[in-house]
Structure 1
Amino acid sequence: MTAKSAPRTRCVGAIVHDTNGRVLLVRRRNPPGEGLWSLPGGRVEPGETDETALVREVREETGLSVTVGAWVGTVDRVAPRGVYEIHDYACQVRSGTLRAGDDASDARWADSAILATLPLTEMLHDTLAAWGQLPRR
């Protein structure tokens, strides 16, 4: 089975920067990516739009309510049974208090110095760099 013929699961991710230019990250509690830092997000459930799924996932994982903005890019990641097709969107925080929840064991804002020290999910740093979405400080 090739990557193109493998079952695809639609997922979403949030690229959120705070007023200091830091990027929002969560540490994954479960496989795949257990223990690694990534963007908040997850699977789009049946009947959900990307926007609805993203608002739900960010709230569950971080306690923050976001407004979903423009689509930034899409990446494919190998999944246990196929491929995760992850659509990433720029988001802005509307309200809430940052806290880890759901399948995140930790959540934090990361500037460039902190980002350089964290174990990240595969290709996250390179993808954010290519999209011009690294922390601004």
Structure 2
Amino acid sequence: MKNLVARLWRLIRGPLQWRLLWLWHAKFMVGVTGIVRDSEGRVLLLRHRMWPPDRQWGCPSGYVNKSERFEDTVVREVREETGLHVKVGRLLLLKSGYRLRVEAVYEAELAGGTLTIDSVEILEAKWFSPYDLPEGVQESHRLLIQQTATGPQGSAAAAL
């Protein structure tokens, strides 16, 4: 039976193969988060209007648009939510296992712009020391910020 399926698969090639693969496999949204730091090592946190009231603080985040690179999503989301421009760095985390979502987290460095929040999505935006974060920070964001911090209380070599 496997040999028959393999022969049929080789015969149908191209768009039909892709359509069958698309129908067969899971579909996911991809959420992307940026750990944005300034030249002083402070991290940008946003108080998100749409997040639960007890944990509204977190890093700039959003979903990938169709045909968009993950790195471009970080740049777009930071610009849309804050008016700031960033240079995207290394991938810190790629996590699956959610029902319909994959999460990617990147480091990013402030490159310019003027802080102007999108009041539809964001209530407040502030720069914080990675060792003095406000109450109500998403725990996953807190851990990533502290594990990737450099300086006397953190080490960039910390295991993720």
Find the counterpart in structure 2 of residue 133 from structure 1. Answer: 149
1:39 aligns with 2:39: no
Query: What CA distance in whole angstroms lies between the structure 2 residues aligned with 1:21 and 1:113?
Result: 11
Find the counterpart in structure 1 of residue 104 from structure 2. Answer: 87
Query: What CA distance in whole angstroms lies between the structure 2 residues aligned with 1:135 and 1:38?
Result: 21
CA shift in 2, pair 1:113/1:62, >3 Å? same
Query: What CA distance in whole angstroms lies between the structure 2 residues aligned with 1:136 and 1:84?
Result: 35
Query: What CA distance in whole angstroms lies between the structure 2 residues aligned with 1:28 and 1:77?
Result: 24
- Would you say how many aligned residue pairs link Structure 1 and Structure 2? 127
The answer to whether the Cα contact below 8 Å between 1:128 and 1:134 also exists between their aligned partners in 2 is no
Shift of residue 77, structure 1, vs aligned partner: 8.6
Which of the pair has the greater relative contact order for Cα pairs under 8 Å at 6+ separation?
Answer: 1
Paired letter, 1:108 = K
CA shift in 2, pair 1:26/1:135, >3 Å? farther
Q: Percentage identity across aligned positions?
A: 31
The structure with the greater share of residues assigned to strand is 1
Where does the alignment leave 5 or more consecutive residues of structure 2 unmatched? 1-24, 154-160
1:11 aligns with 2:20: no
CA RMSD of aligned residues (A): 2.7
CA shift in 2, pair 1:77/1:56, >3 Å? farther
Shift of residue 75, structure 1, vs aligned partner: 4.2
Query: What CA distance in whole angstroms lies between the structure 1 residues aligned with 2:151 and 2:42?
Result: 5
Paired letter, 1:103 = E
Q: What TM-score do the two structures reach when normalised by structure 1?
A: 0.76
CA shift in 2, pair 1:124/1:111, >3 Å? same
Query: What CA distance in whole angstroms lies between the structure 2 residues aligned with 1:111 and 1:38?
Result: 13
1:121 aligns with 2:138: yes
The answer to whether the Cα contact below 8 Å between 1:112 and 1:135 also exists between their aligned partners in 2 is no
Where does the alignment leave 5 or more consecutive residues of structure 1 unmatched? none
Shift of residue 136, structure 1, vs aligned partner: 7.0
SS at match of 2:137: coil
CA shift in 2, pair 1:83/1:128, >3 Å? farther
Query: What CA distance in whole angstroms lies between the structure 2 residues aligned with 1:134 and 1:45?
Result: 32
SS at match of 2:117: coil
